[in-house]
Chains A and B, each alone.
Chain A
Amino acid sequence: RKEVEQDPGPFNVPEGATVAFNCTYSNSASQSFFWYRQDCRKEPKLLMSVYSSGNEDGRFTAQLNRASQYISLLIRDSKLSDSATYLCVVRLSGTYKYIFGTGTRLKVLA
């Protein structure tokens, strides 16, 4: 089983739609959680950290469910510019090794 699993997609959604991605992790000792965004042929960039209580940044909401070992990302009112690959990232307690998922591709259609 992979340490961090994501549905690779692609998710094709119309502009204005709400879309949600899930990511599951296998190690219960995972301590820190993140979503990164990667545009085609570009480097990953931090989208948001994921906190235990859940957090929101504009149209983006991230949630963590430690009991079920998954994190989610919700994007509201999708824009064409949201088209990218969204990478789920996990760090284990006691290490600064970051484990990336395969990424979920999102295409927002006009």
Chain B
Amino acid sequence: DTGVSQNPRHKITKRGQNVTFRCDPISEHNRLYWYRQTLGQGPEFLTYFQNEAQLEKSRLLSDRFSAERPKGSFSTLEIQRTEQGDSAMYLCASSLVGVETQYFGPGTRLLVL
């Protein structure tokens, strides 16, 4: 079991560009979560999937943010037309249905210049 992996680990982009992050959950984990964390704050829920179905999403995940989990395995989070306020750590976590322990990946740190 290799744990949750995220790529890239760091991303620097210019304002207005699109970025895409990838999360590979622990194999056989059917739930997958995306969070955003800024300095001095706890992780903020963005969205979660059960298998390939996106079951809930935050109001933050609107127009510029989109997430997919097409085959119920890895997931991608895309941010379009990035803004400086999008600079944050983007965390992915996975869990098994029926078990509430979430296992987090190392995160992707985004800096928008």
Interface, chain A (partner B; CB < 8 A)? 4, 8, 32, 34, 42-46, 49, 87, 91, 95-103
Contacts and interface: CB of A to CB of B under 8 A. Distances in A.
Contact of A46 (B35, B45, B102, B105): B102
Interface residues of B, number: 22
Contacts, number: 47
B75 to A, nearest CB: 15
Contact of B104 (A8, A45, A91): A45
Contact of B55 (A4, A43, A96, A98): A96
A43 B107 contact: yes
A97 B45 contact: yes
B31 interface: yes
A102 B102 contact: no
